[in-house]
Amino acid sequence: MVNPLENPMRIITIYVAQGLVVAWFAYLAYKILKRDRKRLNAIFAGFYISAVIGLIFNFIYGPISHEGVILTLSYLTYFGVFFSPIFLVVFDLILLKSEKVITPLKQMILFISFGIFMFCLIFFIITPEWGVTLNESTGWSPVWHLPFFLYLAIGEAIFVLIPIFYLSFQIYNKFEDEQLKQKWKFFIYGYSALIIFMYGIMISNFLASFDINVRTVMGIIGLLSGISGGYLMYIGVGRQLEK
């Protein structure tokens, strides 16, 4: 059986490009939690940590050639990466409404509800021609089928993408201080870049079955948008949370 890591591009994609994102996100989460581990800090850092955990599962299945194992680990990768934006929804809600209104119970309900949505991805994974093909025929790189792609892309848009933009602009309009507004713009710009990162993953995995080169192009775009987006969000909000 062919070793999945015999493909140099696969090594570069998983362990170099995604490795840089993991190291960068882990560093930013550390900076946020270093000075204070209050709930708001933990929730914001949770966005970075969830993505890091997901990508680490990707590292693990990189050299594995057992289809069942790598499908399971790829599911955990998707769960970690695409679950992460719910932390930003909760974070924005707390900033807009306060922790007295968005209580820990309400926060937990949001996390669990979105977690159920993400858990349902497994039913696509185990259904042939509905989920993900990941074996020797695809070069050990994931190829998404249309139902899986639509479920995740539309679900992310409805449950996190649109709410975060809506809440973020509500917060921006609430600020009266121009300096705070300017800093919050960095958060919005950063989130916009991270949307490109996440949807870039989706699109490249879906279109890879039609054109293998799209994975390389989207990988480069995803790397740049992921690193820059994470940093812009950090300088917009994370530095203030450290204080």
> What structural domains and CATH numbers belong to the chain?
4-242 (1.20.1070.10)
Neighbours of 195 (CB within 10 A): 19
Q: Are strands 143-144 and 132-133 parallel, antiparallel or unpaired?
A: antiparallel
Distance CA 148, CA 131 (A): 5
25: helix, strand or coil: helix
Distance CA 149, CA 60 (A): 23
* DSSP3 helix / strand / coil % (the chain, rounded to 5): 80, 0, 15
For every one of its 243 residues, what pLDDT tens digit does the chain have, with 9 covering 90 and above? 556 666 666 777 778 888 899 999 999 999 999 877 889 999 999 999 999 999 999 989 878 888 889 999 999 999 999 999 999 999 999 999 988 899 999 999 999 999 999 999 999 999 989 999 988 888 788 999 999 999 999 999 999 999 999 999 999 999 888 888 999 999 999 999 999 999 998 998 998 767 667 777 877 888 899 999 999 999 988 666 655
pLDDT of residue 8: 67
pLDDT of residue 241: 63
